[in-house]
Amino acid sequence: MVNKLARQVGAHRNENEEVDDLSIDYPSADGERMAETDFQYIPLTNTVSALRVRYHDRSDVYVAGDMLIYYRINRNDLSIAPDVYAVFGAAGNHPRDSWLVWREGKAPDFVMEIASQSTWRRDVAQKRDIYAEMGVSEYWRFDPTGRFFTPSLVGERLVDAGYQQLPVVTDEAGILRGYSAILELDFCVLPGLDLRLFDPATGEWLTTHLESEAGRRAAEAALQSSEAERRAAEVALQSSEAGRRAAEAEIARLREQLSQQQP
């Protein structure tokens, strides 16, 4: 999808000859806290982590969470900080202080907001309008408490007329599922309102950095255990071999002794 904001910025620059003023400072913080409670913090960090693991080898994919996006040229008073966002076709997957749409050349392709008592109303209204203006192709919302909207997962796709809701269904296992065409992943809300990502192409759940590290450590422990067992088997074999040789030597000694005693 063509980035609407890129078109707007380009047109604005051509018509008014406005250029990027490099003297303007764009703060990397807005003074607001990252998440109000664990209900927001856990799905936020797990989702960012899982997406970063998935795209760690893609230099053109950038994933961030709760980082400021400035979406109007030369306006450091206009910013927004999505809980989770992903950009495809990014100019490098490197650390940033903030995302300036006109300098990066595009807006995020995917955004997710995680509802809280103080933010959910803005998520469904003001922020939704800003993301549509920016040209964010998919906008998802998740309610980790189940108190603010039903169902607890909402996905929308940007079309010419605005955002159009994507299908979200409950499967036979009681899992609420919605498919993101941008990410090519299922967003799944498990019983207990646990948000997870599932890859329908591989049939596997995405893991976070912590889960990947735990898996790596378990594999290393299993390898070390296997190595210890191999060494123990070698020691046992060597001991057995030494015993065999000692027995053979004793038999040879007895035979020699016996031969010397015979007339």
CATH 3.30.360.10 describes domain 4-207:
no
Residue 208: pLDDT band (50, 70, 90) is confident
Per the CB < 8 A criterion, the answer to whether 86 and 108 are in contact is yes
Task: For residues 230-256, give the mean pLDDT.
Answer: 69
pLDDT digits (tens, 9 = 90+) for 133-181: 999 999 999 999 999 999 999 999 999 989 999 999 999 999 999 999 9
Per the CB < 8 A criterion, the answer to whether 111 and 136 are in contact is yes
Report in angstroms the alpha-carbon separations of 99 from 18, 43, 115, 135, 256. Answer: 19, 22, 22, 15, 90
pTM confidence score: 0.75
pLDDT at position 4: 45
42: three-class secondary structure by DSSP: helix
Which residue is listed with tokens 């809280």?
116
